[in-house]
Structure 1
């Protein structure tokens, strides 16, 4: 207990106390420097706030489109890098993992420059094949596409490395037995690889889901939540409410809404995976 005590103190000061303080703060509103207890009014306000709906819509799009896309790419790349016939696998792993060690702000700024309407490298490249410049960051649809592309670029390699570790932990005897029984590549992939990877896929799926719900840096730098709040996420909205409008009570309520949603989605993912196993 003596050796654990420093970690417990730090955990209590920087996690438990802020967590409970934010819950307590969500029951108050502050006006003119005076805090007033309002009960559940801040939570009732969530249901009538249209920007909450928009931010959750953006988060839903990320969960439905970006997370499955990224997971499929990560599984495919990991499976490819796990093949014995492939050479220079270490170099490929490093190349694919490099985006994960790039700072969030740095790569978001780079994507903002690349996707600039006038003079951006992406529009210059597509212009070579006769495609008109796309207003990536100022059009609602294309802004979402740009956001999904940037997140997928950064986190695919990270998930790939984790999945690759799971692939390398699968006993070789399973592959040999399947080949003896006449199983093809697709049968081996669906009947052996995916079931054996289920715990790893559960972990990467839950962490990716949490990351999508907590997205802030990319859309804050790329679009600022625009255009017309098309890329507004719950955490970015929380930031605007708390640190621009200084309504910390309502911001705390948004934070706890996010906590509840994250917990529900994670539990559902865990139960679905557990039932299949």
Structure 2
């Protein structure tokens, strides 16, 4: 047919044709435009994230001697091995981690499953109530728990006193101080994880549960053999993020117990803070920080290895 190019090659030639003097669009200029938009975020990241990370790593190999920083190699890390306060703080943190994270996630999983039940009314209100602690101001949250756990006139002791139980020194006894800390952290972050699990449950195809019900599975069996396995990626996410958060715990022990009594609630980040900003030993504090980073990475990798699906191996 006259006027029509016979093949794709000819059509491509016409499309690639350029008028005299016309220039090809500069890919390099387009990339520069993208960088202009990214520049503010890149500058903020470099100044407030990348530089402090690199600087702390360098600082962990240095020590202040005679008013000046001197290179000491791995001496700061060797100092950690013989530091009883470091091992006390690490042990306290791991004890809280082993108890608090499974307890919090189990409660979050049960509550999320209950809120999907048809027997529960006002679901939106309950979701809001459970999530509110996660966005509560830290100061208000600490004041509330100090009032609840006051050894003399606290609400908690008044409640157990109604049942004839002797008052408990919640924040002054090593055992109960840990219990109080675990309870406070669980109360604050349970709703956050519940919302994540609730979103994961909403993405499960209802026909899967219906098929299990038609096969004779009750609610408990459906939850155990259908909901939990399909929710495993979400549970893994909650486990890893909660573990990292607990290993970095600082606010609660700092405000509620100051690491006491007798160091029972001294966490590794609280010890890092004391070393850096009270003892002004920034090199040793940087070494503690990098050891914590390594511990977090190891525990997260172990959790991901244990909880990931066998089909992914």
Matches of residues 48-197 of structure 1 in structure 2 within 5 Å? 48-197=82-231
- SS of 1:129 mapped into structure 2: coil
5+ long unaligned stretches in structure 1: none
Deviations 1:197-250 (A, max 9, x none): 111111111111011100001000111001111000010000000000000000
In structure 1, how many angstroms separate the alpha carbons of the residues matched to 2:175 and 2:310?
A: 36
Whether the aligned pair in 2 keeps the contact of 1:70 and 1:156 (CA below 8 Å) is yes
- SS of 1:251 mapped into structure 2: helix
Shift of 1:160: 0.4
TM-score, length of structure 2 as denominator length:
0.86
Whether the aligned pair in 2 keeps the contact of 1:167 and 1:193 (CA below 8 Å) is yes
Runs of 4+ displaced beyond 4 Å? none
Whether the aligned pair in 1 keeps the contact of 2:149 and 2:155 (CA below 8 Å) is yes
5+ long unaligned stretches in structure 2: 1-33
- SS of 1:118 mapped into structure 2: coil
The equivalent residue for 2:74 is: 40
Indicate how the Cα distance of structure 1 residues 128 and 172 shifts in structure 2: closer, same or farther if over 3 A, else same. same
Shift of 1:186: 2.0
In structure 2, how many angstroms separate the alpha carbons of the residues matched to 1:105 and 1:252?
A: 27
Whether the aligned pair in 2 keeps the contact of 1:116 and 1:137 (CA below 8 Å) is yes
Larger RCO (CA under 8 A, 6+ residues apart): 1
Aligned residues: 277
The equivalent residue for 1:257 is: 291
Shift of 1:275: 4.2
In structure 1, how many angstroms separate the alpha carbons of the residues matched to 2:282 and 2:227?
A: 47
